[in-house]
Structure 1
Amino acid sequence: MDPSPALELPADLPVGLTLPSTVDGTTVHEIVVKRSRFITRVAHVASVEAADEVVAAVRKEYWDARHSCVALVVGQRADRQRSSDDGEPSGTAGVPMLEVLRQRGLTDVVAVVTRYFGGVLLGAGGLVRAYSTSVSEALDRAVVVSREPRVEVAVETDHVSAGRLENVVREWCHVHRAIVDPPAYGAAVVLTVRLRPRDLRSFEQLVAAETSGTALPEVRGWHVTDIPALP
């Protein structure tokens, strides 16, 4: 017999929802094309305003460069997109950069490519290739983080049992690629886990077995969660 009633998934949990990925932190990469230097900075951002701050910082750092072209995608569904050629011929920089971000299925990311002219004209086709290659190679070196809807489950336990239960839960989370938050301490200790919907029953059974049914997990909703890449 099951030690506790089965938990139910949130009624509004989206089924089969596929979300764009994002990048972790900032990656800088440089290529040289016919003596022109292309310095790319790819950064995670949470808003258009944060992206603008990254762009402003790059232009301040490379104040003597001819161009710092931009492409950004923001929003859970990648619904805010923008690009800038920053003085390069129209359509040769920002749009090709943006297309790379789209093809990679990314959001909440800004790419800034700074060009130091090397004295050799590249032509429209050469510029398109240089700017798109710059962003593509930078993304190859970036840490890409997937995003998934995760069920948030809280487990309340006493202080005496908390340490052992936390260790067991963390081991389970490692195997099941779940996220466990730092414990919240009060009159009791609360462990919060964000897990895949298909793993809910397994987690419930784990807690029931480890606590002899004294700790009852509680579903508190769902959240879009960044999932770290596998090591």
Structure 2
Amino acid sequence: MMVLENLISDRGSRYAVSGGPCRDVDAAAAFLKDLKRRKKFAKATHNSWACLTADGPLKNDDGEAGAGMVILRMLEREGVTDHIIVVTRWFGGKHLGGDRFRHVADAVRAYLAAMDGARP
């Protein structure tokens, strides 16, 4: 599991991104359970995620409408399969409007760049 914390801050909302191997819906559930063992992530407002598997695409907005689709489209575009990416948001009290989608996309980009840097 790779976690990038304190990635983005905007109007009080804070974002992190994490990810790891994921082959099916059970692996996605196990990943989220493991992530939420960290109290900070368990208390987050949203843990939106997506994963491309052999069985098809999986995604969940976790209350952040449209965020899962943003992540999924980026995974499809980059050809990343069998890997889950979770964008976590702690709501800061002010609505971000469309900026929230930009932040989700920026978080995924940062994760993909870190993932590429971690490959030998």
Same fold (TM over 0.5): yes
> Corresponding residue for 1:70?
49
SS in 1 for 2:42: coil
TM-score by length of 2: 0.84
| Structure 1 residues 5-154: aligned runs within 5 Å | 26-30=1-5, 31-34=7-10, 35-61=12-38, 62-75=41-54, 79-88=55-64, 90-91=65-66, 93-123=67-97, 125-143=98-116
| Bigger Cα Rg | 1
What runs of 5+ residues in structure 2 fail to find an aligned partner?
none
Give the root-mean-square deviation of aligned CA atoms. Answer: 2.0
Local SS of the residue matching 1:100:
helix
Aligned residue for 1:68, secondary structure, equals strand
Over residues 126-182 of structure 1, what are the superposed CA-to-partner deviations in whole Å (9 max), with x where a residue is unaligned?
Answer: 11111111111111001489xxxxxxxxxxxxxxxxxxxxxxxxxxxxxxxxxxxxx
The runs of at least 4 consecutive aligned structure 1 residues that moved more than 6 Å come to none
Aligned-pair identity (%): 32
Q: Could you list the runs of 5+ residues in structure 1 that have no partner in the other structure?
A: 1-25, 146-228
TM-score, normalised via structure 1 length: 0.46
**Greater share of helix residues, 1 or 2?**
2
Query: Residue 100 of structure 2: SS of its match in structure 1?
Result: helix
CA distance in 2, matches of 1:143, 1:73: 18
Say which structure, 1 or 2, has more relative contact order (CA 8 Å, 6+ apart).
Answer: 2
Distance 2:106 2:8 in 1: 11
Matched letter for residue 112 of structure 2: L
